[in-house]
Every structure is written in structure tokens, then in C-alpha cells.
């Protein structure tokens, strides 16, 4: 994937033509998406655990490694308390 393809995927019509500014904006957007996806994914994984699925089964059916699933499923406020 080229930088232009990544910019199109992350910014689309919002590209300004200023390569440096677009790259910075795209990097911020990528991080925002990562944080949102982790939160959303964690909520979904937590729901699967509440339904009785083990982390091993979650790994098998989703491809998300067990350690990642376990980390995502811990609510941020609980993770902060244990640190």
C-alpha cells in the first residue's frame, strides 16, 4: 500500500493536498480508529465471554489472539485500577 492509498482510505475527500498536513491528520485518524475499534471490540468480546464463550473459543472463531481478547475485554477503569 502506498502513502496515497492510505491517505485516500483514511481521509478520502478530506485530503487538503498539503502532503505533510494530510499525513499528520491521517496518522491521528488511524490512532482514533484504533482506539475506537479496541473499545468496540472489547465490548463485543466481553459480551461473548458473558455468553459463556472461553477466550480459547473466541480466538478460534475470530482469529483474535487470546491475550489480546482478554486485554480488550477488561473495562478501561478496571485496567487502570489494577495498574
Any idea where the domains of the chain sit in the sequence? 3-82
Predicted confidence (pLDDT) at residue 77 exceeds the cutoff of 90: no
Buried b (16+ CB within 10 A) or exposed e, 54-76: ebeebbeeeebeeebbbebbeee
Give first-to-last CA distance, the chain, whole Å.
37
CA distances from 14 to 23, 24, 27, 52 (A): 12, 13, 14, 43
The confidence score (pLDDT) of residue 74 equals: 74
CA distances from 62 to 5, 9, 23, 41 (A): 27, 24, 31, 11
- 18-48 pLDDT per residue, tens: 999 999 999 999 999 999 988 898 899 999 9
User: Cβ contacts of residue 70 below 8 Å, gap of 6+?
Assistant: 55
Amino acid at each position: 500500500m502506498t502513502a496515497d492509498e492510505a491517505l485516500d482510505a483514511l481521509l478520502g475527500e478530506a485530503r487538503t493536498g498539503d502532503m505533510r498536513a494530510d499525513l499528520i491528520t491521517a496518522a491521528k485518524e488511524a490512532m482514533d480508529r484504533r482506539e475506537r475499534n479496541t473499545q468496540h471490540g472489547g465490548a463485543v468480546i466481553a459480551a461473548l465471554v458473558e455468553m459463556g464463550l472461553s477466550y480459547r473459543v473466541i480466538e478460534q472463531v475470530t482469529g483474535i489472539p487470546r491475550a489480546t481478547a482478554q486485554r480488550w475485554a477488561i473495562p478501561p477503569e478496571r485496567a487502570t485500577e489494577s495498574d
